[in-house]
Each structure stands twice: as structure tokens, then as C-alpha cells.
């Protein structure tokens, strides 16, 4: 198996959307119109490939001047291989290169331990987003 995580261009959005549709819309019941929110052109994207096949993605969006990780997704068939960690490392590198000293995210409640292991710290109370319980988290990048 050969795995690669790399930045993705906007021309690759159909590949990223297919992964996100499978993970969030089909897998979690998130409404398609919430998943595709019209902000993708304003984001930097990363793509995970296994043996050349697209299996994971995430995006970096600037919100109120801070980097925010969004749409972190790995196909169920390829979880537990370290791709989620690799996607986050790739987003953090993009955020550092863009001059951000922190990275924020809204973690789905069951995934909070995944982000805690990567150094993210929860902030405030859990809240509802797209019908799913979330916690705001963040970490310093430098
Ligand atoms: C969260 C997600 C991206 C993790 O991707 P992944 O490729 O399976 O993650 P990794 O293989 O890099 O996992 C690294 C470690 O975190 C652990 N981990 C993964 N998901 C976890 C979870 N939900 N809770 C606790 N630990 C978790 C893995 O077991 C692994 O531990 P190990 O190193 O001891 O084996 C993936 O499960 C996913 O796409 N989930 C559905 C979408 C989602 O919830 N996205 C997050 C939105 S905030």
C-alpha cells in the first residue's frame, strides 16, 4: 500500500466532494446543502490518496483572521491507517505557511479524543452544528 497526503487544487473539488458526500451526507446524514456550503473556493484543500485512489480530505478556511480546519474526512474503508493524523499535519503545515500561529476547529463530539491526542484543547461548552454535537477546539502551531 502506498499512501500520500498532498495539497489539492480547486480543479480537484469533484474528488473531494465525492469523499465528503460519502462521509458526511451518506455516513452521517448531514444535509447536502450544508456539506457543500459555497466556501470551497475560499479554502485550501488537502487530499489523501492510497494506491492513487482518493480516500480522505480536509480544508483550511480563514475565519475572523484565524486558520480553521474543516471537513476532515476519511472513507470508512480506510480509517485507522494514520490518514486522519496525516491530513491534520498537512493542514497545520498550510496554516503555518500562511502565517497562522493557531489552528481552530469544531470537533464532532465523538472525535474530540482524536484531536486531543494531536494537542487540541477544547474551549467553551458543546454546541449543535448540522444536527451534530460539537466542541470548539484549538492549538498553537509554534
Ligand atoms: C476522524 C477521522 C478523520 C479520523 O481518521 P483516521 O484516518 O481514522 O484517523 P487515524 O488513523 O489517523 O487515527 C489516529 C488515531 O486516532 C484514533 N481515532 C480515530 N478516530 C477516533 C475517534 N473517533 N475517537 C478516538 N480516537 C480516534 C485512531 O484509533 C488512531 O489511534 P492509534 O494511532 O492508536 O491507532 C475519521 O474517523 C472520519 O473521517 N470520521 C468521520 C468524519 C468525522 O467525524 N470527521 C471529523 C469532523 S470534526
CA of 111 to the centre of ligand 1 (A): 7
Residue-wise pLDDT for 16-59, tens only, equals: 999 999 999 999 999 999 999 999 999 999 999 999 999 999 99
Rounded to a whole number of angstroms, the distance between the first and last alpha carbons of the chain is: 33
Supply the residue whose CA is at minimum distance from atom 32 of ligand 1: 80
Nearest-atom index, ligand 1, CA of 24: 42
d(CA 137, CA 60): 15
- Percentage with pLDDT > 90 across the chain: 96
Give residue for cell 495539497.
7
Angstrom distances, CA of residue 32 to CA of 23, 45, 79, 127, 128: 11, 19, 22, 20, 17
Mean pLDDT, to the nearest integer, of 63-75?
96
d(CA 30, CA 101): 31
d(CA 96, CA 118): 16
CA of 11 to the centre of ligand 1 (A): 27
Pocket of ligand 1, beta carbon within 6 A: 23, 72-74, 79-85, 107-108, 110-111, 113-114, 117
Asked whether the beta carbons of 57 and 19 are under 8 A apart, the reply is yes
119 φ/ψ sector (left φ>0, alpha ψ -120 to 50, else beta): left
Could you tell me the pTM of the whole model? 0.96
- In this predicted structure, the answer to whether residue 4 has a pLDDT above a threshold of 90 is yes
CA of 108 to the centre of ligand 1 (A): 11
**How is domain 3-140 classified at the architecture level of CATH?**
3-Layer(aba) Sandwich (3.40)
Mean pLDDT, to the nearest integer, of 112-128?
97
- What is the rounded average pLDDT for all residues in the chain? 96
Amino acid at each position: 500500500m502506498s499512501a500520500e497526503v498532498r495539497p489539492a487544487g480547486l480543479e480537484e473539488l469533484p474528488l473531494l466532494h465525492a469523499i465528503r458526500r460519502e462521509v458526511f451526507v451518506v455516513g452521517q446524514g448531514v444535509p447536502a446543502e450544508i456539506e457543500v456550503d459555497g466556501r470551497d473556493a475560499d479554502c485550501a484543500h488537502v487530499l489523501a490518496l492510497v494506491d492513487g485512489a482518493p480516500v480522505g480530505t480536509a480544508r483550511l478556511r480563514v475565519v475572523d483572521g484565524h486558520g480553521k480546519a474543516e471537513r476532515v474526512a476519511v472513507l470508512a474503508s480506510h480509517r485507522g491507517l494514520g490518514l486522519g493524523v496525516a491530513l491534520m499535519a498537512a493542514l497545520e503545515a498550510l496554516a503555518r505557511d500562511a502565517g497562522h500561529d493557531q489552528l481552530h476547529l469544531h470537533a464532532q463530539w465523538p472525535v474530540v479524543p482524536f484531536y486531543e491526542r494531536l494537542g487540541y484543547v477544547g474551549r467553551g461548552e458543546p454546541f449543535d452544528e448540522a444536527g451534530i454535537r460539537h466542541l470548539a477546539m484549538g492549538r498553537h502551531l509554534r
